[in-house]
Amino acid sequence: MKTAYLAFAGLALLGLSGLVRAETIDNPEYKHWSQYKAGTWVTWKQTTDAAGNKSVTETTLKLVEVNADKAVIETLMKMEVAGQKIEQPAQKRDVPAKIEKPAPVKQEEVKDAPKPKEGEDTVTVAGKALKCKTIETTLDAAGQKGTTKAWTSDEVPGQMVKSETKTPQVTMTMELVGFEKK
């Protein structure tokens, strides 16, 4: 009888071990969006030229709901590819307040990676000068060499103000075209 009880207790503990959760941390994306009220929005325009094939995408993110557990972001995309206009149905996604703590990056994975250049710049959007942090990196993936530079600002919902990626075959530029904070 005692052996059966111990076996049952052991199985119960094994079953409960699957319920142990990974360590969680504050989600930086939630932290940023949670400082705004529902109705806040931001719109970017992305232009891509891939070997002469041009496309334009306009993406709008709108904060639909925010509470202590999550923010709900609605994404609306409009594209123009090869002269055709395509509008995607709005998609909603939850941005949880907490996320699993990421695994640490192994030093051997980044030891040969080029160091990004960081700086500051001012970008004007809709007549408003935005103080931005910049980060510029070089790319070397699958034989494609290039550069990418991003401008971010805490003054903007979603933080992205501008980005430019250039390779010999592709040029991609994303620019903030408007936003409203509530």
Please report, for the chain, the start and end positions of each structural domain, with discontinuous segments joined by +.
22-101+114-180
User: What is the C-alpha separation between 12 and 134, in angstroms, rounded?
Assistant: 53
- Sign, CA torsion 10/11/12/13: positive
- Sign, CA torsion 86/90/91/97: positive
pLDDT in tens, 81-122: 878 899 999 999 999 999 998 888 776 666 666 789 999 999
pLDDT in tens, 40-50: 999 999 999 98
Residue positions counted in the chain: 182
pLDDT value for 104: 83
**CATH 1.10.10 is held by the domain 22-101+114-180:** no
pLDDT for 7 beyond 50: no
Placement of tokens 């998609």 in the chain: 91
**What φ, ψ does residue 65 adopt, rounded to 5°?**
-155, 145
pTM recorded for the entire structure: 0.77
pLDDT in tens, 25-70: 999 999 999 999 999 999 999 999 988 888 999 999 999 999 999 9
pLDDT exceeding 70 applies to what percent of the chain? 84
